[in-house]
Chain A
């Protein structure tokens, strides 16, 4: 154990942080949009749609992410000629794109279940009240159902985002040099696994720490109704001024 070596490793690993963050942010955002669409479809009245979505969710939650990445990156290489004809080969030969695709599809499956739970937890009275005010369809969803569901979803989705940060480590298996990729290279060069592990672990913990704070802030911002109001004086004044 030598501290200067850990510090040097830490600095060397920082080069991988932008890659890890980029992978996380893009896949979480794409996955979230997909997850919302899937969750809505999951609650649709059509039996076939519900079945298809739950099969998708089951397939991506029930198999290891490594298999999913390899299936997309190496597996689709088997259809190189077809993909070339469709002008898609440019995308699928790129490991970065393939990892992003696999991560997004994977997190969409988990996200779908989280969002579905959130949507189902919206009290029926709120939706009825919205209907009574004359809202329906998309307007009702946008103004009533989604905002109320979002409050319940944020903390749980936060866990999923942290899991995605960890998930990006698998990108190193298809030659992408993010934090774990650089760490693996350093370990095999120096054989000082403990020091490299400590440095890489510290970076991941820092990222997760800041993410958790960020999620906490979002949660705080989204739940003003749960915050303590400062004493009874203000509402009284407000009543006085309005009359």
Chain B
């Protein structure tokens, strides 16, 4: 009989603490990637909504390409491509050989670029749901573009976007498991290490899956809460 308390404990032979750190890194890389994705995604959404044709084509191309290509391939591109590019730059300064990029940055960037495509779609859909009259009112009240964006568009857009963003966030958490191929010691990678060194792959992959499920449950509750909160003024207005 295997001593599970010892195995998943925090002792020298226990993997509990390593898995907890792994989970924390998973969440960290997912959060950084998600926020990068929000920034890129809003730029892409803006490009898609822009009146000018080249920008619109760029935005459409971006969302089509990145939603159609496996995420793993994008991570490989960032990991090897980033290292190659950095190596070439370092080569100019006389540095020879392979330069490895920090895998956290690579992972977060790759997640950001992929999730930007999904977030762009969410933002675009939410923007088209905004009422035109409110924007005209803002313009009539003398607001400039930036002020209107900050005061009128963003708060309302976020309200519409929260359910969509929740879906993208869950996607990002699951996608972050793929970053393990770069060697970043997040949850998936730690699980792999534990499975290999204890020769108990089933127990550890199951534990890994359960931790991911716990993160999913927690995020779902958080987003449900955020959605309720974002609608609180809305309900009053409907009464």
The reply to whether B69 and A204 form a contact with Cβ atoms under 8 Å apart is yes
The reply to whether A64 and B72 form a contact with Cβ atoms under 8 Å apart is no
In the complex, B59 has a CB within 8 A of chain A: no
Number of chain B residues whose Cβ lies closer than 8 Å to a Cβ of chain A: 41
In the complex, A222 has a CB within 8 A of chain B: no
Q: State whether A201 and B202 are in contact (beta carbons under 8 Å apart), knowing that A66-B177, A68-B209 are contacts in the complex.
A: no
Which of A45-53, A72-80, A110-118, A232-240 is the interface stretch?
Answer: A72-80
In the assembly, what is the distance between CA of A77 and CA of B199, in Å? 10
* Residues of B close to A67: CB separation below 8 A: 177, 188, 191, 205, 208-209, 212
* Residues of A close to B159: CB separation below 8 A: none
Q: Please report whether the interface of chain B is mostly helix, strand, loop or mixed according to DSSP.
A: helix
The reply to whether A62 and B73 form a contact with Cβ atoms under 8 Å apart is no
Smallest CB–CB gap between B9 and chain A, Å? Answer: 20
Interface size class of A (residues with CB under 8 A): 35 or more
Which parts of A192-237 form the interface with B (CB within 8 Å)?
192-194, 197, 200-201, 204-205, 208
Q: Which of A167, A197, A208 contacts B81 (CB 8 A)?
A: A197
Mask, A69-90, CB within 8 Å of B = 1, is 0110011111100000000000
The reply to whether B177 and A188 form a contact with Cβ atoms under 8 Å apart is no
In the complex, B57 has a CB within 8 A of chain A: no
Which parts of A106-151 form the interface with B (CB within 8 Å)?
none
The reply to whether B212 and A62 form a contact with Cβ atoms under 8 Å apart is yes
* Residues of A close to B191: CB separation below 8 A: 67, 70
Nearest opposing residue in chain B for A212, CB measure: B68
In the complex, A59 has a CB within 8 A of chain B: yes
* Residues of B close to A187: CB separation below 8 A: 76, 80
* Residues of B close to A78: CB separation below 8 A: 199-203
The reply to whether A204 and B68 form a contact with Cβ atoms under 8 Å apart is yes
The reply to whether A70 and B192 form a contact with Cβ atoms under 8 Å apart is yes
The reply to whether B84 and A193 form a contact with Cβ atoms under 8 Å apart is yes
The reply to whether A71 and B77 form a contact with Cβ atoms under 8 Å apart is no
Q: Which of A63, A77, A166, A180 has the most CB of B within 10 A?
A: A63
In the complex, B206 has a CB within 8 A of chain A: yes
Nearest opposing residue in chain A for B82, CB measure: A193
The reply to whether A74 and B177 form a contact with Cβ atoms under 8 Å apart is no
* Residues of B close to A62: CB separation below 8 A: 170, 212-213, 216-217
* Residues of B close to A173: CB separation below 8 A: 72, 181
In the assembly, what is the distance between CA of A66 and CA of B188, in Å? 8
In the assembly, what is the distance between CA of A79 and CA of B84, in Å? 42
The reply to whether B213 and A63 form a contact with Cβ atoms under 8 Å apart is yes
In the assembly, what is the distance between CA of A74 and CA of B205, in Å? 9
In the complex, A17 has a CB within 8 A of chain B: no
In the complex, B31 has a CB within 8 A of chain A: no
Smallest CB–CB gap between B108 and chain A, Å? Answer: 17
The reply to whether B80 and A193 form a contact with Cβ atoms under 8 Å apart is yes
In the complex, A169 has a CB within 8 A of chain B: yes
The reply to whether B201 and A59 form a contact with Cβ atoms under 8 Å apart is no
In the complex, B94 has a CB within 8 A of chain A: no
Smallest CB–CB gap between B205 and chain A, Å? Answer: 4
In the complex, A174 has a CB within 8 A of chain B: no
In the assembly, what is the distance between CA of A166 and CA of B175, in Å? 12
* Residues of B close to A6: CB separation below 8 A: none
In the assembly, what is the distance between CA of A145 and CA of B68, in Å? 32
In the assembly, what is the distance between CA of A197 and CA of B85, in Å? 14
The reply to whether A183 and B213 form a contact with Cβ atoms under 8 Å apart is no
**Which residues on B are within 8 Å of A, measured CB to CB?**
64-65, 68-74, 76-77, 79-81, 84, 170, 173-178, 180-181, 188, 191-192, 195, 199-203, 205-206, 208-209, 212-213, 216-217
Nearest first, the 8 closest Cβ-Cβ pairs linking A and B are A169-B70, A193-B81, A64-B177, A62-B216, A75-B202, A193-B80, A71-B205, A64-B174
15 more A-B contacts (CB under 8 A) besides A62-B213, A75-B195, A194-B81?
Answer: A62-B212, A63-B213, A63-B216, A64-B173, A64-B175, A66-B188, A78-B200, A173-B72, A193-B76, A194-B84, A197-B73, A201-B73, A204-B69, A204-B73, A205-B65
